[in-house]
Amino acid sequence: MVKVCAEDAVVQIESQVAEALGPQRFNVWFKNATRFTLTQDCLRISTPNHFVGEWIERHFSDAIHKAALEVTGGECTLSFAIDPTLAKGLPKKQSDRQVEFIANNPERLAREHLRSPSLPVQVALKGRMEDFVVGTSNRMAHAAVQDVVEQSAAQYNPLFIHGGCGLGKTHLLQAVCNGWTQRHPRLRWRYVTGEEFMNDYVFAVKAREMNAFHKRYRDIDALVIDDVHFLANKRATQEEFLHTVKAIDTAGKQLVLASDAHPKMIGHFSESLVSRFVSGMVVRIESPDFEVRAGVLRRRAGRLKVAISEAVITYIAESFCANIRELDGALLKVVAQGHVTGQPITRALAERAIRDVIRQTAPVVMLSDIESVVAIYFGLTPADLHTSRKSRTIALARGIAMYLARKHTDMSFPEIGRFMGNKNHSTVILASRRISKMLQDGTAVSWMTPEGCKEQDLGSIVAALEEPFITPPSLGDKTRADRPKQAAGSSQPAGGVPQAVVSGSA
């Protein structure tokens, strides 16, 4: 329970986080970019977009959680949500500083997370199979994971799961590891993200500890890597990863991977890696259908020990169609509204609580998916698209993302520009028109890769990139035309991750 008033507690939490992280990291990732809200025993961290939110969740959750525990004097759950209004207060150069921070600090991040070559054993991860809500949108991925857990070395090898942000990929990968621990306690597995694999490799090279690195990643029974697309455009790390994959495959061990995009849609991945990925089981998780969304809300409400009527469940599930994180944020806001006002949680209360969130969040989630797919294809990060840099590759990717955002969302030109690094609306207009004309003319485009200049027909690129966004809606879902619209003033539509862990004895 909170022992100080919420506003004072938030100030103290922010102060302790700043002290723990240091001024550089706090200013780059938190100043002007986040808003802390404390309600009951939950700390809500609002961020302007998915990129900032996921980075903070992955790297700074421990520091935030520790500060919240010390200030409130009791258990405090962290919840991450997207608040597009925060983008208005972001300096235009802040995205540039975030990209520079990521590019200039891999070795330091490796030292922070991987000081000891002996990582914890038998560590339980958050995701569990029994907590995963199954529906038509994810049934195949769930079945493949179950088979891998049961057999520990199934015919699905490697198993590659892909899909947009917040659809449950990380949950399934962690469920695999927890399932192995329960059913095959002697099986040795390692779970890392693509970023952690790269940081570990960089640190091993610098410290001349490659033998220890090879032992950690090859002398195991199963390797699970989340966000493997992070290795795109990292030639040396990819080469080492390829050797690791070969060693695991030769030994008949299991490899499970997850990415925001299909292997063939990850730019700057070596052909050898892509061919190995597609030689196994590649399965996609779609946006959650109504059955899954309603099931997730019921389960979350049960964990919060709050009685939520089916009318409220149905309203929230129908209002948020993109991913699970939207549902979590909306449910928490409804519960907080009921707690603060002392009123029962009715549909009318829910409508008041999340009306603004519906208007603001639905288009942003779609744009974040577009940014992610486009960035991965060109070997970039969404943060690169937000910067002021204008290299050939970034300018092309940014233009395509703006064109797709205008075509597949209800966002206006100013809104797209604001969410893509506070770009001027005229920049979005010009980019959209330029890409549209090039498509009409059948123009080929070129961009730089680590192997040199690459050229391809723009039409084939755009068709491949927008394929995930033109999938027909699941039965029982609203059509796109029925989904919540952007706030008034919009123009009409145009055509947290744990550190590396190991199971089993060393």
Residues 130 and 29 in one domain: no
> Which pLDDT score is estimated for 55?
79
Residues 38 and 127 in one domain: no
Domain boundary among 287, 322, 351: 287
Residues 133 and 226 in one domain: yes
Residues 127 and 266 in one domain: yes
> Which pLDDT score is estimated for 479?
36
Residues 30 and 162 in one domain: no
**Percentage of the chain with pLDDT > 90?**
24
φ, ψ of residue 238 to 5 degrees: the values are -60, -40
Domain boundary among 287, 312, 335: 287
Residues 83 and 214 in one domain: no
Residues 252 and 370 in one domain: no
Q: How confident is the model at residue 140 (pLDDT cuts 50, 70, 90)?
A: very high
Q: pLDDT tens digits, residue range 89-103?
A: 666 666 666 666 666
pLDDT at 366 over 80: no
Q: How confident is the model at residue 470 (pLDDT cuts 50, 70, 90)?
A: low
Residues 164 and 257 in one domain: yes
Q: pLDDT tens digits, residue range 2-25?
A: 445 677 888 889 888 998 888 888
Separation CA 476–CA 290 (nearest Å): 7
Residue 351 CB neighbours (<10 A): 15
pLDDT at 496 over 50: no
Residue 412 maps to a domain: yes
Residues 115 and 62 in one domain: no
Residues 269 and 191 in one domain: yes
pTM score > 0.85 for this model?
Answer: no
Surface-to-core class of residue 253, CB atoms within 10 Å of its CB (0-12 exposed, 13-18 middle, 19+ buried)? buried
pLDDT at 176 over 90: yes
Residues 414 and 275 in one domain: no
Domain boundary among 90, 124, 157: 90
Residue 233 maps to a domain: yes
State the CATH number of the domain containing residue 239: 3.40.50.300
State the CATH number of the domain containing residue 43: 3.30.300.180
> Which pLDDT score is estimated for 46?
85
Separation CA 308–CA 337 (nearest Å): 13
Residue 428 maps to a domain: yes
User: What's the whole-number average pLDDT of the chain?
Assistant: 80
Domain count, the chain: 3
> Which pLDDT score is estimated for 166?
80
Residue 444 CB neighbours (<10 A): 13
pLDDT at 132 over 70: yes
pLDDT at 115 over 60: no
Q: List alpha helices for 184-250, DSSP H.
A: 194-207, 210-218, 235-250
Residues 119 and 14 in one domain: no
Q: How confident is the model at residue 177 (pLDDT cuts 50, 70, 90)?
A: very high
Residue 13 maps to a domain: yes
* DSSP symbol at 73: S
pLDDT at 121 over 70: no
Residue 160 maps to a domain: yes
3-state secondary structure of 321: coil
Arithmetic mean of pLDDT, 374-399: 86
Q: pLDDT tens digits, residue range 216-257?
A: 899 899 999 999 998 887 888 999 999 999 999 888 899 999
**Percentage of the chain with pLDDT > 70?**
80
Range of the structural domain that residue 272 is part of: 107-287
> Which pLDDT score is estimated for 398?
92
pLDDT at 288 over 90: no
Residue 350 maps to a domain: no
Residue 477 maps to a domain: no
Q: Which segment of 20-34, 78-92, 486-500 scores lowest on mean pLDDT? A: 486-500
State the CATH number of the domain containing residue 437: 1.10.1750.10
> Which pLDDT score is estimated for 321?
77
Higher confidence at residue 72 or residue 437?
A: 437
pLDDT at 499 over 50: no
In 3D, which of 363, 351, 268, 489 has the Cα closest to residue 50? 363
Residue 203 maps to a domain: yes
